[in-house]
Structure formats: C-alpha cells, structure tokens
Structure 1
Amino acid sequence: MKQTISSWRHVFKIDPDRILDDAALEAVCLSGTDAVMVGGSSGVTYDNTVELLSRVRQFEVPCVLEVSTLEAVVPGFDLYVIPMVLNTKHPDWLIGHHARAAHKYSYLIPWEQLIPEGYIILNPDCTAAAISEANAALTESEAAAYAEIADKLLHLPIVYLEYSGRLGDLELVSAVHRSLGESRLFYGGGIQDAGTARLAAAACDTIVVGNALYSDLEQALSTVAAVKPERA
C-alpha cells in the first residue's frame, strides 16, 4: 500500500465532524478517486471516526487516516498519515506530540502502516494554522526551503501544501514542486470544480479535494475526471 501513493493523482478528504449522507458518500467512494482520506482540524473524535470508517469500508476504495489527535486513532485503516507541521512555531506539532504517542503507545503502533507527511500550512486564517501556530506567511523561496528539508534531509514521502479553504498561489506551489526530488507533493485548498482541479493538478503531484464535497457535490465529483481522464 505504501508504494501506491506514488501513483495517486486525486484524493477526497472527508471530515468526520461534518455531515455527508449515504448517497453522497457512495458517490465519493465510487467516483474513481485514488483514495479517501479521513481527517479534520477540529471536532474529530474516536466515535465519529470509527463511524465514518465503517461506512467507507462498504466500498473498495483505499481509506487512510490523517492523524490529527491521538484520541481519534482507529484501527482498520489502510494507512495512517502522520502530519509534521514544518512551519510551526511550536515543536509539539513537529515532533512533540509524536514522541509522546510513541512513548505511551509504541507497542500498539502499526509502524509499517505509517506515512510521515511534511505539512506546510499557507493560509494564516485557517483552523490548522491557528492550532499549530504555523508561520503561514511564507514567500515562495521560504516555502521551497521547507519542502527541500522535508525531501532531501528528512526523506519524507509526502510534502503537503495546505491552503485550507481557498485556492492558493499556484506559482508558489509549482516552485515547491520543482524543488522536490523524491517526495510527492500533495496540494489542498480551494479546489471546487474541474477547472480549479486542472489548475492545481498542473502544479503538484496529487490534489486533495475536501470542502467542495459539502458545498457542491456534483462539482466536487467532476474533479476526478479532470485529473484522471480515464474516468471521464
């Protein structure tokens, strides 16, 4: 499963703390997306995560958990993506929470299913930036420098540029992409329809579509064929 992330072009991100009815969830899971990622910045609990996992598991789509809180880690996912916020001002969000989890639960952790993810948060107004105390006002060269550290020093398989709710500076995204060697660049933020999906996909390796699922499901579903022509 770890090897499969290298071929992912499209991921839907579903928030356990937001409502997505059964018909909508079925459409998402059968859309042809490469994976469904479960995660959110707030309101994520064990109960709502396990409920969402049980619903997604009715389908064959790969399902991964982006771990944002230790209390909401649920067994049964294909992979567990572990964010390390590279531009945080507080070490807890880079390694502190991770070390405490290992100290307390190392014997329970399925290490072979974990994928570390270098998170660079670039929307200063989003919840993730506030919680993680991220320095989100990065220039193009500063963002690329963080990405290079993730790629060439830390050897992280994923670098994730998070604009969370708004379409980001795609020239900056492209510059970060060019700076990477082995890491795969994920991008999330403001992808609402096929047009914005194509623009974002041209600047990165993998697009992540989340908020659009809750504002306009039909347009959100159109993002799959926009970046995976075989699904058209």
Structure 2
Amino acid sequence: MQEAIYETWRHVFKLDPERELSDEALDAICLSGTDALLVGGSTGVTYDNTVDLLSRIRRYEVPCALEVSSEEAAVPGFDHYFIPMVLNTERAEWIIGRQIEALRKWGTFIPWEETTAEGYIILNPRAQAAQATQASCELDDDQFAAHLYMADRLMRLPIVYMEYSGMFGDMERVRRARHLLTGARLFYGGGIDTAEKAQLAAQYAHTVVVGNALYDERLSAALSTVQAVRNTVLIK
C-alpha cells in the first residue's frame, strides 16, 4: 500500500485563509523547510479566500493540504484533503452531520485517495473551534482515554488531532495519548511560538502544527520551530 502523504510529516504550518499574510511572510514560510502547509480555519473560511491563498502557495513546491471545515471552502487543486470530526462534542452535526450533507451533494466528485478523516479532540474551551462546536473540553483522564479508544480502535481514524489552539497544552497528556494510540497518527496544535515548545511537543506528537504564531508578530519565532522539530527525536 502506498504511504499516505501525511505519514512522514513532522512539522506543519497551518494557514488561515481569513487572516492577512504578506507576500514576504508567505515566502519565508514556504521556503522554511516545513514538511507541509495545512490550510483551514474555524470561522470566515470561504471559497474565494481559500482559492486566493492556494494560488499564492502554488508558486512554491511545498505540499499543501486543505482542512475542509465547510462545503463553501471545498476547493480543488490541493495535494490532500482532511475532513475534521470533532469527537468531544454532543452536537452530532460536527461529528457526522455536516459531513453527511456534503457527501450527499459531492460524494461522487471527492478524490477519495487524497482524502483523510481527522478525529479532533479540542481541549481549550476558549478556542474559537471549541466555542463554535460546543466541545466538552474539560475531560478527565478516563474520558480522554475513552475518546482516544473511540477514534483509534473503534472508528479506526488515521489521525487524532489534539487541538489546544490559543494555549500551550499539557505535554504529559500528549505523551499519554501517543502511547494509547495503536494505529492513528497523533497531530498536536496549540500555543507553539518558540523552538523550545516545538521541541517539547515533537518528543511525543508525530506531527506538530504551528499556526497562530505566524500572525502575531512572531514570525521569526514560528520559523525557528521547523529546525527545532527536525532536531527532536520522537520518544518511543
């Protein structure tokens, strides 16, 4: 079986189509040595701003994937597509509802070999994604483990995404998650704005995602995370 495009990614920059990014900043990001760019956002993502960002990225050779958070933002031309499913919410629309509606309309047109489901566990209650999906972020250890078992062993999702967007997460919980997973790849995102934090996350997560730091006048610090992750060995 051919290896999935994301299985070798250690470092990823996440770009939000709604947020402004200068040509100079995008040039630095695309030439940074990151393994891939992930395009997506919790709010304000449209077809037009996604197409615009993709057209700017395509001047570079870096792999580029789209996280499809709404039907309107389903733009062709990306190297891969991720379909997020928020596991720690009671609102079914964020688990299968919106996905089913999109499949009803576009199922025959989806490039299935380049499409992957992500099981999101959102752990920062102040994050936009948590508020939009009404995620239950205050999970105790048993509840957290149960969500991992659901994603990895029952649903057999290829990716579990621990999302702390807006804050640096609990690295002990990231470590525990990695060791509870048997098949899924662990993505971690949230609060990584220094090389040191990137190294801590990269010890335990298969893939480290850096996003907000690119927009908060911390571009140089965000760029430093690429080499920091590359220099960090994943702890077994």
3-state secondary structure, aligned to 1:36: strand
3-state secondary structure, aligned to 2:84: strand
Partner residue of 1:100? 101
Partner residue of 2:219? 217
Counterparts of residues 25-44 of structure 1 (less than 5 Å): 25-44=26-45
Counterparts of residues 24-63 of structure 1 (less than 5 Å): 24-63=25-64
Q: Which amino acid aligns with 1:65?
A: L
**Paired residue total:** 230
Q: Which amino acid aligns with 1:219?
A: A
Counterparts of residues 1-232 of structure 1 (less than 5 Å): 3-215=4-216, 216-229=218-231
Would you say the 8 A contact 1:140–1:175 is kept in 2?
no
Unmatched runs of 5 consecutive residues or more in structure 2? none
| Farther-moved stretch of structure 1 (52-61 vs 108-117) | 108-117
Q: CA deviation at 1:2?
A: 5.6
- Can you list the C-alpha shifts for 1:124-175, whole angstroms capped at 9, x where unaligned? 1111011111111112332222112111111111100000110011111111
Distance 1:134 1:207, change over 3 A: same
Would you say the 8 A contact 1:2–1:113 is kept in 2?
no
Q: Which amino acid aligns with 2:43?
A: S
CA distance in 2, matches of 1:141, 1:172: 12
Distance 1:2 1:23, change over 3 A: farther
Q: Percent identity?
A: 57
Give the alignment's Cα RMSD to 1 decimal: 1.3
CA distance in 1, matches of 2:146, 2:127: 22
Q: CA deviation at 1:229?
A: 3.0
**What is the TM-score with the length of structure 1 in the denominator?**
0.96
Q: Which amino acid aligns with 1:197?
A: A
Distance 1:154 1:142, change over 3 A: same
Q: CA deviation at 1:104?
A: 1.4
CA distance in 2, matches of 1:75, 1:62: 14
3-state secondary structure, aligned to 2:4: helix
- Can you list the C-alpha shifts for 1:158-195, whole angstroms capped at 9, x where unaligned? 10000011001111111111100110000000000100
- Can you list the C-alpha shifts for 1:86-108, whole angstroms capped at 9, x where unaligned? 11111110001111111111122
- Can you list the C-alpha shifts for 1:179-215, whole angstroms capped at 9, x where unaligned? 0011000000000010010011112111000001012
Unmatched runs of 5 consecutive residues or more in structure 1? none
3-state secondary structure, aligned to 2:62: coil
CA distance in 2, matches of 1:182, 1:5: 14
